[in-house]
Amino acid sequence: MPEPLPHHPQPSPTDPEPSARDRRGPAVPALRQEPVFDAVPERSRWRYQPRRASRLWRSRAMRIGVLVTALALCALVILGLVRKETGHEGFLVGLGLATLPVPLLVTAFRWLDRVEPAPWRNLIFSFAWGAFAAALIAILANTFATRWIATATADPTGAHSLGATVVAPIVEESAKAVAIALLFFFRRKEFTGVVDGVVVAGLTATGFAFTENILYLGNAFGEDQALGYSGLPALTAATFFVRVVMSPFAHPLFTVLAGIGFGLAATAPRHRRARRILPPLVGVLLAMGTHALWNGSASYFGPLGFYAVYGMFMVPSFALLTWLAIRSRQNELRTIAAELPKYAIAGWLAPAEPQALSSMKARTMAQGVARHAHGPAAAHAVSEYQRFATSLAFLRHRAERGTAGPDFTAREQELLHHMWQRKAVAAPALTYAARATGRVLVPPPHRDYETYNPYRV
């Protein structure tokens, strides 16, 4: 009977907290010839599920159905309101023009999320919430507040400017932040850091900007038609240039600040309540502030002030946040390269696997090798193996920082269990990819390079 894997001892509540220098985390379990994953929780308590859509629908059909129905109703109401405002032709023109930047933005955020990809259901929910739920809340609340201010002050022009500068940023950023908060609290295992916050926030804001652009572009087209223009002249072209060409990143830039706040909270230790509460609040307030500055530059500063704010604040801020997001992505790859060699030493991974798993190029090549040799099922197994290995590296990193939680042993063995089931297909492909991409040194030229391809017949 093979010896079971050792349990990781948990520190006593009375033990002094180790310093950052002395903290090394639980020991990595040694590999047995036939591992026994005795600490793996029962299937219903798995956190790291293999991707099986049918299971989701069987076990959570009611909640998913309610959510989809609610978002669909929001979509019908908001699109109906926009169509009523813009007219039939204006709606179609606005819809066509507003769709143009969406694939580019979605692709950019999906690229940023490639290290540990979030499930598509989370990304679709984020976009749908922004496009339908948040947009509906914003249009109703903004309209009500602006009319109330105009009635109270008897100054419709001032009410419009005040609504755009003060009311709209508060309402819109709060509505978009709800999507981030829902995923943060109810999909916590898939929301682990700054990159996840940036991606969720960016897609939510992309959806919101999509619906808002339909309204603005449709109204502009309607005004051009009323003046007797045909095609896309004057106001429609100017609106398209400002909202789609110059500033497609405006709403994502605002909301990403809130996403970074939630991402920082996700990495904070459980006992540090201030570090888990303050960053999201500060992030949402910063999102409101930048949004107010952007709207105010157009309402109060005139065209020159708008372009000054755009060039001196918005563009540098966008560049800084882009750098921060890419840096966070690289830090994730560095975490993989630092943590997974411990499992290679213990025998769970081949020596070259950590190098392949910390390179996006090698990961892609490994999936391609498996697909070419054994078909799509093998490539899918390699993809899942990479995802579980990435989660294992992040779990180990949190354990060494003292933030993994008391169920670390069960979660570690759960991930090792999933990886062991796919190792026969994934390990050779990753080893080959590591050598082919130069992640590890290859033998001298007189050696037989044919041995590097594990799938060659």
pLDDT at res. 217: 93
43-83 pLDDT per residue, tens: 666 767 665 544 444 455 677 788 889 999 999 999 999 99
Global confidence as pTM: 0.76
The predicted structure's pLDDT at residue 49: 67
How confident is the model at residue 18, as a pLDDT? Answer: 44
Closest CA to 211 of 64, 68, 67, 77: 77
Q: What is the pLDDT of residue 282?
A: 95
pLDDT for residue 288 = 95
- How many other C-beta atoms can be found within 10 angstroms of the C-beta atom of residue 451? 11
- Burial readout 90-121 (b: 16 or more C-beta within 10 A, e: otherwise): bbebbbebbeebbeebbebbbebbebbbbeee
Residues in the chain, pLDDT under 70: 1-25, 33-34, 36, 38-39, 43-45, 47, 49-61, 229-233, 270-271, 441-457
pLDDT on residue 408: 85
Supply the pLDDT for residue 271. 67
